[in-house]
Chains A and B, each alone.
Chain A
Amino acid sequence: MKCRKDKYAVKIATLAVSSMVFLLLTGCWNNRDLTEINMVTALGIDRTEDGKVLLTVQVVEPAAIQSTASGKGKGGGAQSKPVFVESYEGETVFDALRSMLSIVDKKLFLSTAQVLILGERLSKNGISEALDFFQRNHEVEYEMDVLVARNATPKEILEMETDIDPIPAVYIKGTIENTVSRAKAKRTILLDLIKDMGDSGRQPVIGQVEKAGEKEVRTEGAAVFRDGKLAGWLDPYETRGYLFAAGKVKSTIVNIPADNGKISMEVIRSKGKINAEFKNGEPAMLTVRVGLEANVGEYEGKGKLDSPDDLHKLEEILGDEVKKEIRRALDKAQKDYSSDIFGFGTQLHKYHPQYWKKVKDDWNDTFSKLPVDIKVDAKIRRTGVIKGPIKKDG
């Protein structure tokens, strides 16, 4: 009996192994080796003046990276550039990508792309048409970071060579990733952008990238969209206000005035919640509730910091400061851009579907007219290694 079982086990194992072999073999049909592809690290799209798509790719040369890495140790020597940047015009994104092969040798491989940079002109004309390719193509990673270039074309940004990282795209991605500890730029991955574009109750906000010098980029602030078109920009503080309200702040430094100087508060935890208060079947007021925890990070001044009361005072000031930033972001969204970037509409859709059906089509205008109540509850927990600033005869 046991023998028979073993025989079956062998049979099953053979079947499993052979099925795996079969399936792996079919995978080789369009197998492409590393040496036969161009690995795209960053993509930029813009519109030309006559409405065509201008696609820019940044492609990495793995061999060159190795030589730069070892070259640094040896102190120079002949170096080939680790990346190259090419642009091509086409009717659509896909058209441009394929047509570009007339000037680039090997097929462009998109799964390695880290950053997608949208041009200002494209953003003003509308981004949804150009983004279809990125949703549809199976090579594109939905985790890719999306940025809007300000005062520069995507091509100019991608062509910059930096000393910080051999691959500029990795460097740009790094600067937008570290926004978790400063919260002054909005990080948007492709997936979130696609979701927001398909949601009539929330307008997309995309991080902004600009040139900071010859060799650096700066990712600060954010671009506000309305119905797929660029409506305007948020400065770094407004961006932070927006992120506080949206509950997306992980950590940041908020400066507040204090006795004889200023204090930098390190926000270590924060959550934001938005809602709408209803009266007689209509929303009477939109509400923003933010709760945050902070530590005293730096005290530039001569005040004292001994009792809990001192901290309570600071908590109030901190709360007001954050509230001001949120108010600024809201004013911009409501009055200047008339675009519900916070997602109040989504909230209404979920909890008041009947009302939402009525206002869906011109929600952004309704949103602009509603009063907003903001409440920030700030808690200061710790003061670091010392309590008050050190001073003579303190």
Chain B
Amino acid sequence: MEKARISSIQLFLLLTGFLYGSTVIINPALGAKNDAWLAIILGGVGGALLMGVYVSIALLNPSRTLVEILRDRSGKFVGNAVSILYIWYFVHLASLVFRNFGEFMVTVTFPETPMIIVIGIFAVILVYAVNSGVEVMGRLSELFMPVVPVVVLIISLSLITTRDFTAFLPVLENGMAPVLKAAFGFITFPFGETIAFLMLFPHLNQKGNLKKIAALSALFLVVLCLVIFMRDISVLGSGLMQQATFIPHLTSLLIPGLNVEPLVDINLLIGGGTKISVCIYAAVKALSQVSGIGDYRKLTTAITTFCVVLSIWVYENVLEMLSWAEKVWPYYSIPFQMVIPLILLFLSFKKRVKPSNVRNGS
């Protein structure tokens, strides 16, 4: 185990950046149309609970990464097998975020640049960040993450004159069903994806704060998403919002006499960068532990290259990407985000409770 340590505030910022990640451009909660605000709140509550599960697992198995927990609780063979599944999941997640990022950049900023160039250059920087270790990633987030809410605030305030504050009405026009569906989507993306942090939690220097950090960052994300949603719908109206490919980008285009479009790109770079680097870190760390390679750095370049290639292969077009994120991803994620962690939590509890029972009995 490397001795890298990150502080509470760094973990909070990493977690927030991870959650914010590609939610900047694709937000599954928006499937609920005008009622997305409700979906965001409900999804946020659900997501916070789910993160609570991961945090509990981490607290019940102090100083253990996901791979070690899996091995401890379910035996070496099953543990390794499930770990490999998780490695795939993290790699897949990283390449999806890569693709989101590339697709966005190519659509709005560099329409004639091949996407592989955009993604590739981004990947080079992220490999550097991941190889520099968790401490550097934490400090990077300290440096960059404060920019995110500032940008959101700048864009929101610039548009305050051209708004229709009642645009989100009527409430629940189509009933609760689409809201619940969207809320579920919002739980799995981005909250459920924080399962990757089980590879990072052992580095936190004050374990006691873990619960607070997770809850705070979930709250922070919900507030941020609500602000963004209210801004977008009050500026664009619900009709245009449903047709926009990348909503915040379109909103940012509307500020009169000021081109703040790159600010959205910056937000995506920061959020997406945090998310991808955490995913890649989790994947290579897990792989190094499963395969017994001492230093995860040897694997980073290879895995990242694989992610880049996968990100190009994974979708044929932009609409496939958008509908996949909304329709397939939530169900694909269920075993990784809910089933296995819940089993793990159950196993962790059982093993912890048992010894004390034995002691009481004797």
Contact = CB atoms under 8 A, between A and B. Distances in A.
A351 B240 CA distance: 20
Contact of A351 (B109, B132, B169): B169
Interface stretch (B4-12, B71-79, B110-118, B327-335): B110-118
Given A195-B240, A199-B237, A18 B125 contact: yes
B107 A12 contact: no
A16 B129 CA distance: 11
Given A142-B254, A351-B170, A198 B129 contact: no
Given A12-B139, A351-B169, A26 B110 contact: yes
Given A19-B125, A138-B111, A353-B170, 19 more contacts: A11-B136, A12-B143, A15-B125, A15-B129, A16-B143, A19-B269, A22-B121, A22-B124, A22-B125, A25-B121, A26-B113, A30-B112, A138-B107, A141-B253, A142-B254, A191-B254, A194-B240, A198-B239, A349-B169
A26 B118 contact: yes
Interface residues of A, number: 30
Given A15-B129, A18-B125, A26-B121, A198 B237 contact: yes
9 interchain residue pairs of minimum CB distance? A198-B239, A353-B170, A30-B112, A350-B169, A29-B113, A195-B237, A22-B121, A353-B173, A19-B125
B235 to A, nearest CB: 9
Interface majority SS (helix, strand, loop, mixed), chain A: helix
Interface of A: 8, 11-12, 15-16, 18-19, 22-23, 25-27, 29-30, 135, 138, 141-143, 191, 194-195, 198-199, 349-353, 356
Interface string B92-136: 000000000000000111111100011001001100110010001
A12 B121 contact: no
B243 A15 contact: no
B166 A350 contact: yes
B60 interface: no
Interface of B: 107-113, 117-118, 121, 124-125, 128-129, 132, 136, 139-140, 143, 166, 169-170, 173, 236-237, 239-240, 243, 250, 253-254, 256, 269
Contacts of A30: 110-113
Contacts of A12: 139-140, 143
Nearest to B162: A191
Contacts of B121: 22-23, 25-26
A78 to B, nearest CB: 36
Nearest to B174: A353
B254 A350 contact: no
12 contacts: A12-B140, A15-B128, A16-B143, A26-B110, A29-B110, A29-B113, A30-B113, A138-B107, A138-B111, A141-B253, A143-B256, A191-B254
